[in-house]
A and B are shown apart, each in its own frame.
Chain A
Amino acid sequence: MSNAYSPNPAPEPENKIVGLRQLNLGLALAISFSGFIIPGLGHILMGRWIRGAMLALAIGLMFLIGLSMQGELYVSDLSQTPLRLFGFFADVGVGLMYWLAEHARLGTGNMSARTYDYGTTYLWVCGLLNYLAIMDAFDIARGRKP
């Protein structure tokens, strides 16, 4: 007789994807935060060296190229127009590199430069890409993806 309808079926595993390591929420948040400070560090801490190194390289190079193209880093000034606050949110996504560049007075932007718009866009997008990388690191840490 089949035991398919037994009163005590075996409990289903919480994570349907077999073999994924699931860290607790605090550790996952800490790993994600490390990825915010230094792009790719969250992946490296979880042993995904190549993925982390490539993320760090792509985001870091994009940031440096944006600065060298005389793009502008937006600052946190609440008196400025709201659209500039969105720009600040995007810029600050690269974490430590933003603060280093800000303290070194880089990223002041030169509007007369031909590459100003591209440089500023590079700086925005590398910060936004790092936000995606942070969420990816969080998903991996929580066992939602391999």
Chain B
Amino acid sequence: MNLSHFEALFVFAFFVSTVFGLITKTTPKEQFRYGAFVFCSFLGVAIVVGWLMFPLPW
């Protein structure tokens, strides 16, 4: 499997947020909301940090 960096990040965030949501919350609604929050946080932080590092010369 030859995923790009973003695709690998996306899949990674999906699975990790699924497990986090399942084991930290009790009701399905809470699990979905928390999982979605963790997933968006993964992607958002990665994109922001990626852009912050973009101008660095090394």
Contact = CB atoms under 8 A, between A and B. Distances in A.
The answer to whether A and B assemble together is yes
Nearest to B17: A58
Given A65-B11, A121-B12, A145-B26, A115 B2 contact: yes
A132 B1 contact: no
The list of the 10 closest CB pairs from A to B, nearest first, reads A68-B1, A136-B23, A118-B8, A129-B19, A58-B18, A62-B15, A58-B15, A146-B26, A69-B1, A58-B19
Interface of B: 1-3, 5, 8, 11-12, 15-16, 18-19, 22-23, 26
Contacts, number: 48
Interface in A61-87: 61-62, 65, 68-69
B8 A115 contact: yes
A54 B22 contact: yes
Contacts of A126: 15
Nearest to B5: A118
Interface string A6-41: 000000000000000000000000000000000000
